[in-house]
Amino acid sequence: MDKFNQIVFDIFKLPVAEIKDSLTSKDIPDWDSMNYLLFIAELEKQFKVSFSMDEVLNADSLGAIKKMLQAKINL
């Protein structure tokens, strides 16, 4: 998931070495509502997938988002 980590870095300005599945909005200073929307939109664009509004609202950690993404890529 190098591409995933690159998008985390680009949007949230989090060094790749510090990226962990357990991280939530409370752990990442740049994870605000605007950047979260930009992050989801960028994932959709780069991985050519679409999320539902419910999925976006319920994902609360990087791991949860990654799991949601992997489920769509593996379909």
Site residues for another protein per CB under 8 A: 34, 37-38, 40-41, 44-45, 50-53, 55-56
The nearest distance, CB 17 to another protein, in angstroms, is 26
**Residue 17 vs 57, nearer CB to another protein:** 57
b/e per residue 32-50 (b: at least 16 CB within 10 A): eeebbeebbebbeeebeee
Does residue 13 contact residue 39 with C-beta atoms inside 8 Å?
Answer: no
Q: Which amino acid is at 28?
A: I
Which residue, 14 or 65, is less far from another protein as judged by CB?
A: 65
| 22/52 with CB nearer another protein | 52
